Chain A
Amino acid sequence: MRSFVYVLTALAVMALAFWAYRENYRTQAALDNVERLNRAIGSLREQLAMQNAEWAYLNRPERLRELAALNYDRLALGPLAPEQFGQIDQVSYPEMVLPDIVLPDELFKSILAEADQPAQSASPTVPVEEAASASAVPEALEEALEAQDEEAEQ
């Protein structure tokens, strides 16, 4: 029993020594890594400072003024003037032109119709509904034209 304890202790000491050895080297490696990263961070910061300086240099008011003058034909940039302040309702938004809403079942129908008569369809992607509305539009147009004519006569 006693000799077994001795052997066990000796083995434990060897195992711990091996572990300590490995940990030591891993720590050294981690420290080297940290140092390398710190150096990298330092050089990146230096580069960042350089880029900031260059950004500031390229954006100096004198250069921007020259660029604005050189590109006046294209950009028409001038100094900010008091007249440029305005109300929000003075802004003229472009008129919104939206295509008709296509419902999924109509689209499905049109595809089915297309599959039934492949040769006949003149415009294969046009939904069935649109064909009906296309005939409705000229009627409305005619009415409007008539109304205009009446106005003109009056």
Chain B
Amino acid sequence: MIRTPLRPLARILEARARGENPDAIERENKRLRHETMRDQARVRAEGRLLVLGVVFFAAFAVVGVRMGLLAGSDPSEPRAIAPGASIVAQRADIVDRNGNILATNLATHSLYAQPPLMIDPKAVARELARIFPDLDEARMVKDFTGSRKFVWIKKKISPEQMQQVHDIGDPGLSFGPREMRLYPNGALAAHILGGAGFGREGVQSAEVIGVAGVEKYFDDYLRDPANGGQPLRLSLDLTVQAAVERVLAGGMKLMDAKGAAAVLMDVHTGEILSMVSLPDFDPNERPRQQVTGDPSDSPLFNRAVQGLYELGSTFKTFTLSQALDEGIVNPNTMIDTKGPLVWGRYRIRDLHNYGSSLSVTTVLVKSSNVGTARIAQRIGGVRQKEFLGKLGLLEPTPVELVEAAGAKPLFPAKWSEISTMTISYGHGLSASPLHLAAGYATLANGGQRVRPTLLAGGGTLGDRVVSEETSRQIRSMLREVVVHGTATFGDVPGYRVGGKTGTADKPKPTGGYYEKKVIATFASMFPAEAPQYVLIVTLDEPQDTTGPQPRRTAGWTAVPVGAEIIRRAAPLLGLRPEIEQAQGFGVTLTAN
């Protein structure tokens, strides 16, 4: 570029000759030069603005087009990201403590019909009625020929049935994939598992939701995809559960009882190894809740958790342990047992007359109502209620079943002195067998509160309820009951069973008590000197008819069943029988 000089000599001389100011020429040239520079700068700035504008336009256009594409296209999973453990089933398995499957899923199909696509609705209905005898042909004909566009026929069908339906060959019949819940062990642990059903249903899939038991209690956990299919491990032992169920069912039949329940619990952790309620049901085909009749007679009713019964003399153990713990008595203190004990319009009697006085141990061994009531009088109602509360007998059990929260023990609103006396031997307070198991486990493990649980691993022990010494005394007293007392049929060689019987008359719904209907309970722990397990057996309306007179006391009904359960279950639990030391010289107590 040729730069124009500010003071061109030719023009300066010319201007000087004309007498003009040559500086004007310089200023003029400077102005021109500045104008040129300004024009150039403007062009450059305009160019930059344009580029900036184009860049912004392009950027916004890209964002806009991308948004439009994302909004307009079908969603797809990212292909390049390697997925971790993919979800197999929508509901996690449930396994027992050893990993045996209690509940799992099975892929099946559902069957539905689209009547507008059907070629021969009547033939289809006839064929379907042949394949599925439970379907009503006339009803299906009505559905298929009416105005309906969509009809569910079956929610779950087997592969064989699916093939048969395929063979009908009608385009109006279609299948949708379905996941179903399978309980491979049938009725085993039915009350604990509960059952599952379908929630919201679509053609391609359906929700599987728990309807009772742990399936419902852990519904959110089981359906949480974040768990990655991790199974829910329960504290149950499949083998022990099967053995207990079998023995209890046999015992129930033998004793002519209409129901039975058993709870086997680890005293140190509160883990429930086996919990049975009979009659039971198959959770694969969970029956509907009965609308009529007594709900507690339904097979769906979990007697071990929901059944609130007056558990009779098994409560004497609690009364005596409180009295021992508070130092009111010692095992050898003599208690006045002269009966009947009259209190207002109530009379407390014993089964037999046990004479004028018995030691505390003998009160338990012979199960004297009068003696226990007298001890309870010394304890007093307020402290008794507090003690039973500490054992967890006045509130629902914290076990992981939806039904448990509803089973709140029944006790009089006004804890009067007569209530104190009757509750001391187990009348006037209704609790479930599971409550009793937790209470006995607390006394058995050295006195620390046990909270029953169904999860493997168990919970930690709670606050101390009674001292180690009291626990030891009460265990040796319970052992005495089995060796010399009301539960002699409960002795299993090698396992040193300790326990207490309880026979309570059943209350009539109209008030008062039945004469010949009882609840027989056997609460036991083994081995007695260092218990590991607590077993509660409850029979509803049992009677032993082998003798000349029907016998209904727990000693003749629940105790032999409990002993057989221990004999079968203890080896399965890995407990080695111990050879007991032969009794040396000693005084043998005889019944009078």
Contacts and interface: CB of A to CB of B under 8 A. Distances in A.
A31 B79 contact: yes
A50 B577 contact: no
Given A53-B106, A53-B182, A79-B243, A85 B101 contact: no
Question: What secondary structure prevails in chain A residues at the interface with B?
Answer: helix
A101 interface: no
A102 B446 CA distance: 65
Contacts of A65: 242, 246
Contacts of B323: none
Nearest to B82: A34
A80 interface: yes
A81 interface: yes
- Classify chain A's interface size: 20 to 34
Nearest to A39: B86
A55 B243 CA distance: 20
A86 to B, nearest CB: 10
Central interface residue in A50, A53, A84, by most chain B CB within 10 Å: A53
Contact of B184 (A35, A56, A79, A81): A56
A81 B80 contact: no
B199 interface: no
Contacts of B86: 38, 41-42, 45
B100 A82 contact: no
B492 interface: yes
Contact of B101 (A34, A56, A61): A56
A45 B107 CA distance: 12
A49 B89 contact: yes
Interface string B516-528: 0000000000000
A104 to B, nearest CB: 50
Contacts of B188: 60-62
Interface in B86-110: 86, 88-89, 100-101, 104-107
Contact of A82 (B101, B105, B493): B493
Given A49-B89, A79-B243, A57 B493 contact: no
Contacts of A45: 86, 88
Contact of B79 (A35, A42, A56, A79): A35
A61 B239 contact: yes
Query: Which bucket holds chain B's interface residue count?
Result: 20 to 34
Contacts of B238: 61
A151 B239 CA distance: 58
Interface string B543-579: 0000000000000000000000001101110001100
B568 A79 contact: yes
Contacts of B72: none
B105 A49 contact: yes
A64 to B, nearest CB: 9
Contact of A46 (B79, B80, B107): B107
Nearest to B566: A82
A52 B88 contact: no
Nearest to B77: A35
A55 B100 CA distance: 10
Interface in A75-94: 79-85
Contact of B104 (A34, A41, A52, A62): A52
Contacts of B104: 49, 52-53, 56
Contact of A62 (B82, B83, B88, B186): B186
A26 B126 CA distance: 55
Among B105, B184, B492, find the residue whose CB has the most chain A CB atoms closer than 10 A.
B184
Interface string A21-62: 000000000010011001001100110011011011101111
Contacts of B182: 53, 57
A60 B107 CA distance: 20
B495 interface: yes
Contacts of B572: 80
Interface in A97-143: none
Contacts of B80: 31
B494 interface: yes
A102 B410 CA distance: 84
A24 to B, nearest CB: 13
B185 interface: yes
Interface string B474-508: 00000000000000000011110000000000000
B79 A53 contact: no
B89 A61 contact: no
A59 B104 CA distance: 14
B89 A57 contact: no
Given A34-B79, A34-B82, A61-B242, A56 B185 contact: yes
A146 B89 CA distance: 81
A46 B89 CA distance: 8
Given A38-B86, A41-B86, A85 B571 contact: yes
B100 A56 contact: yes
Interface in B125-168: none
A9 to B, nearest CB: 26
Contacts of A60: 184-186, 188
A35 B494 CA distance: 61
Nearest to A82: B577
A41 B85 CA distance: 10
Nearest to A45: B88
A83 B577 CA distance: 8
A55 B104 CA distance: 11
B571 to A, nearest CB: 4
A52 B494 contact: no
Nearest to B79: A31
Smallest CB-CB A-B distances: 10 pairs: A61-B242, A56-B184, A56-B101, A57-B184, A82-B577, A80-B571, A60-B185, A31-B79, A45-B88, A53-B104
30 contacts: A31-B79, A31-B80, A34-B79, A34-B82, A35-B79, A42-B88, A50-B106, A52-B101, A52-B104, A53-B101, A53-B106, A53-B182, A56-B104, A57-B182, A60-B186, A60-B188, A61-B188, A61-B242, A62-B186, A62-B188, A65-B242, A65-B246, A79-B243, A79-B568, A81-B571, A82-B492, A82-B570, A83-B577, A85-B571, A85-B576
Given A45-B88, A82-B577, 15 more contacts: A31-B79, A46-B107, A49-B105, A53-B182, A55-B101, A56-B185, A59-B100, A60-B185, A61-B185, A62-B186, A79-B243, A82-B492, A82-B495, A83-B577, A84-B571
